[in-house]
Amino acid sequence: MGAKTEKAVRSLKITQEIYPIVKNFYMESWEAKKQNKLVCWAGVGDPRELFWAMDLVPVYPENFSATCGAKQISAPACAFAEAAGYSRDTCSYFRNTYGYMVNRDNLPEPPGGGMAHPDLLILAVNSCHTRPKWWRIMERHYNVPTFIFEAPTIPWDMRRDKIDSHYLEFVVTQMKDMVAFIEKHTGKKLDIKKLKEAVFWGDRASALIDEIYELRKAKPCPLGAEDMVTALFPIIVLRGAKVAADFYEKMLLEVKERVAKGEGVLPNEKHRLFIDNIPPWYTKGLYNYFHKYNAISVAESYTTNFCWQTRMDPERPFESLAMSTIANWLNISYMEKGETLLKTARDYQIHGAIFLVNKSCKVYTGSNTYLANLLRRELGIPTLVLEADQTDPRDYADAQVKLRIDAFMEMLA
Amino acid sequence: MLENHLQSYDISCTSPSLNPFVRKWREQNRGVLGYLCNVPKEIIYAAGLLPFRLLGDTKPLKEAYAHFPSVFCHYSRSLVDLGIQGDFQHLDGIISINMCDTIVHLANAMQTSLDVPCFYFINRPHDNGVPAAHAFFRQEINKFKQFLETHTGKSITDLSLARSIRAYNQNRSLLKELYALRGEGDTPLLPGIAVNTIAYVSQVMPPDDNIQLLSGIIDDVCKQSKPTASKRPRIHISGSMLQDLSLISLVEKCGGIVVSDDLCSGLRLFWEQVNENGDPLDSLTDYYLNKMPCPAMHSKGIEEQRLADIIRLVRHYRADGVVFCLQKYCDTHQFDLPYLESCLKKEGIPVLNLEVDGAINPEQLRTRLQAFIEILS
């Protein structure tokens, strides 16, 4: 890797526990495979409660690539995909997974041994059309049963909590088709009690993380992006399992304690920032760099606004999961993103906002200019746009990025 | 005569503020709606409005940077740019549809940054193999029809829908005939650039006027004396939106002849017909879900189907090689490329891959095209 990158320095105790959880998660999938359980490669944002309830062992290629990014080993895998003909402008999550799918033996050892081979491929398309292309490529490579379903995009005349009934019906119907698909391959019927239980735990984890986000409104802020984005792993990957709720229970306690003591990440917190886009996983230390200016990220669209968490009703599991599939940050209109961001900026008392140009995720980057213009126009909040891909470190120019941050922070001061 | 007819397809017509039909319709107090991609334009025309496909242009961008990030293709950014510069002032609204991510984001960027009276978004499913997709899309199409009825204050009858479908079907057959005159014989009866320009500009013409013009051209071509047989290598062009048609001329200047394409601004516009019997909204639902797919679709076997479509066209028009002209940042096409390229080569079909980003750079492309065409000779 040519580019200079830095790992995050985290301030909470609980987030030190994440990496062992991640490693264990991948190791367990290999173990489950040995016990003849079905390993399913799925999309983040899928209705994962259904996977737990149906005894599948889900692993998530996107999360795998983010993990490789965070371990700073993604560059050679991305380069391999390019050598196979895939444009460098395509998603680096895809390129990293493709590299490991085709050329694993010649690449650095991934955490926990990486993803066990899939028996099934499942994907809910709920914003990005890169992923179904990617899943079809994996389908061709592994030749395993594949189920892809889609949620409509929410246009500007609807809102996350106010969508046409046929949108919801369309998703619920396809989700039930997915259940039939899984039943066919596991040979076991869905146990609705188990599903309700998973939805209960998913809702519990969601409620807890919501509470943690709320506590970040405190001054000084008890935890910054460097801890928060790391702590997303359980809600993204383990939502619906009790272990995720247990994690956030502990995390909430630690954060509450900090707030009660008036303890922040920074002893002299001066600037409160909002950061957009998927974290540049290979250099999460960038979040710490703001600390030099007594500045901290108190809210991020990838955490606070994304809706990895969703309040769900265990008595209406399908509708709840359908809503959770539809309502993510990347599937809503610019208008709704704008309204949400203005509220976040007010609620969290934000002084500056950072946007990333992330070529891998065009669906994240697309709203950059609209949102930045809106924050400046409506609230007079200064904004900065930086270039950083989510997992491919090769085009990341650390010195340039930091120079721009320096200039921005001096302007804020 | 032919020359006169061809003049009607001037590329400047793709700007709504320069298009003579837009001017005429507005003078008659009839509305004009801009649209993107696979919006069922038949319903717009049936509502008494002129559907005008937004095609953008190839000029360097002036103001789009401040409103739409440069991670999207030039086509989409040029539309934001033109919109900001006031090129859409004669449009009564813009209709978008869920196709690729870029189109969804373009729709949002236009809705938030352009001064156009109304915007509408249709959700189209991307997998026609999903049983619920048809019913969902039928509801979306019906909702769009109701939106247009509210917009105009007039109901859209089945008869007006049937007429509109018929007019567009005639456009489709005439364009297919024109492609046949160019590519089915040993020698093209029309230059490649003329045919692609006609197909391109047809998207911003009222279909009834276009029927007259296309019929006139076909008559003229059939009357003219047959040119002598050509042995020049025959080229199939593959891609999405090819805005800079001078690429076709460049291929021909470099010694090849363009005989077919599977562009979304070319053959994919007209290859199939909308069913004229049965419920018109059902027919439109079927057509727009099942027509020759672009890679934004993700139905099972879609890449295999696209490969089969290209091979079928290469055989039908007896092309010697395929030139991919993919827009920079067009991820969906880029994802299919390695598969298509390797399979076509296995089939013995030579492939050249060009990336386009707005206006083409003829100096840069000439050497590559010449070398490719030489191999085919």
- pLDDT digit string (tens) for A96-154? 999 999 999 999 999 889 999 999 999 999 989 999 999 999 999 999 999 999 999 99
Q: 3-class SS at A296?
A: strand
Least confident of A30-44, A82-96, B1-15: B1-15
pLDDT for res A1: 42
Q: Do A373 and B139 touch (CB under 8 A)?
A: no
**Which residues are CB-neighbours of B279 under 8 A, at least 6 positions away?**
B158
Average pLDDT, chain B: 96
| Furthest CA-CA distance within chain A | 63
Q: Does the pLDDT at position A54 exceed 50?
A: yes
Least confident of A133-137, B225-229, B288-292, B359-363: B225-229
CATH number for B103 = 3.40.50.11890
pLDDT for res A3: 62
Residue B50 within any structural domain of the chain: yes
pLDDT for res B83: 97
- A333 CB neighbours in chain B (<8 A) are 108, 111
pLDDT for res B237: 98
pLDDT for res B48: 98
pLDDT in tens, A199-217: 999 999 999 999 999 999 9
Q: Do B298 and A338 touch (CB under 8 A)?
A: no
Query: Which residue among A89, A129, A148 sits closest to B329, beta carbon to beta carbon?
Result: A89
pLDDT for res B76: 98
What's the rounded mean pLDDT across residues A337-348?
A: 98
Asked if B94 contacts B88 with a C-beta cutoff of 8 angstroms, the reply is: yes
Q: Does the pLDDT at position A27 exceed 70?
A: yes
**Which residues are CB-neighbours of A34 under 8 A, at least 6 positions away?**
none
pLDDT for res A141: 97
- Which of A82, A86, A87 to probe by mutation at the B interface, max B CB count within 10 Å? A87
Q: Domain count of chain B?
A: 1
Residue B292 within any structural domain of the chain: no
Give A359's pLDDT tier (boundaries 50, 70, 90): very high
**How is residue B179 written in tokens?**
């492609």
pLDDT in tens, A168-198: 999 999 999 999 999 999 999 999 999 999 9
3-state secondary structure chain B: CHHHHHHCCCHHHHCCCCCHHHHHHHHCCCCEEEECCCCCHHHHHHCCCEEEECCCCCCCCCCHHHCCCCCCCHHHHHHHHHHHCCCCCCCCEEEEECCCHHHHHHHHHHHHHCCCCCEEEECCCCCCCCHHHHHHHHHHHHHHHHHHHHHHCCCCCHHHHHHHHHHHHHHHHHHHHHHHHHHCCCCCCCCHHHHHHHHHHHCCCCHHHHHHHHHHHHHHHHHCCCCCCCCCCEEEEEECCCCCCHHHHHHHHCCCEEEEEECCCCHHHCCCCCCCCCCHHHHHHHHHHHCCCCCCCCCCCHHHHHHHHHHHHHHHCCCCEEEEEEECCCHHHHHHHHHHHHHHHHCCCCEEEEEECCCCCHHHHHHHHHHHHHHHC
Answer whether B127 touches A (CB < 8 Å): yes
- B342 CB neighbours in chain A (<8 A) are 85
Q: Do A370 and B109 touch (CB under 8 A)?
A: yes
pLDDT in tens, A255-295: 999 999 999 999 999 999 999 999 999 999 999 999 999 99
- B98 CB neighbours in chain A (<8 A) are 152-153
pLDDT for res A111: 86
Residue B24 within any structural domain of the chain: yes
Residue of B nearest to A365 (CA): B69
Answer whether B316 touches A (CB < 8 Å): no
> What pTM was estimated for this model as a whole?
0.97
Residue among A55, A92, A61 at smallest CA distance from A76: A92
Q: Does the pLDDT at position B153 exceed 60?
A: yes
- A130 CB neighbours in chain B (<8 A) are 101, 331-332, 335
Answer whether B318 touches A (CB < 8 Å): no
Q: Do B101 and A363 touch (CB under 8 A)?
A: yes
What's the rounded mean pLDDT across residues B319-348?
A: 97
Q: What pairs with residue B167 in β-bridges?
A: none
B214 Cα to chain A: minimum distance (Å): 37
Query: Using CA atoms, how far apart are residues B49 and B52, in angstroms rounded to an integer?
Result: 9
Residue B173 within any structural domain of the chain: no
- A359 CB neighbours in chain B (<8 A) are 71
Answer whether B121 touches A (CB < 8 Å): yes
In terms of residue numbers, what domain contains B110?
A: 12-154
Answer whether B146 touches A (CB < 8 Å): no
Q: Do B130 and A177 touch (CB under 8 A)?
A: yes
Residue B137 within any structural domain of the chain: yes
**How is residue B194 written in tokens?**
């003329």
- Which of B39, B67, B71, B102 to probe by mutation at the A interface, max A CB count within 10 Å? B71
**DSSP code, position A382:** -
Query: Which residue among B98, B143, B298 sits closest to A148, beta carbon to beta carbon?
Result: B298
Using DSSP, how many helices (H) and how many strands (E) does chain A show?
17, 8
**How is residue A359 written in tokens?**
């070529």
A328 Cα to chain B: minimum distance (Å): 15
Please give the ipTM for the structure prediction: 0.96
pLDDT for res A6: 86
- B119 CB neighbours in chain A (<8 A) are 156
Residue B110 within any structural domain of the chain: yes
pLDDT for res A316: 98
- A152 CB neighbours in chain B (<8 A) are 98, 123, 125, 136
Q: Do A90 and B335 touch (CB under 8 A)?
A: yes
From residue B33, give the alpha-carbon distance in Å to each of A10, A72, B49, B113.
53, 50, 7, 17
Cα B3–chain centre separation: 23
Residue B149 within any structural domain of the chain: yes
Residue of B nearest to A128 (CA): B101
Query: Using CA atoms, how far apart are residues B207 and B279, in angstroms rounded to an integer?
Result: 21
B279 Cα to chain A: minimum distance (Å): 21
A253 Cα to chain B: minimum distance (Å): 40
Average pLDDT, chain A: 96
Least confident of A80-84, A113-117, A231-235: A113-117
Asked if A329 contacts A337 with a C-beta cutoff of 8 angstroms, the reply is: yes
Q: Does the pLDDT at position A401 exceed 60?
A: yes
What's the rounded mean pLDDT across residues A304-325?
A: 96
pLDDT for res B228: 77
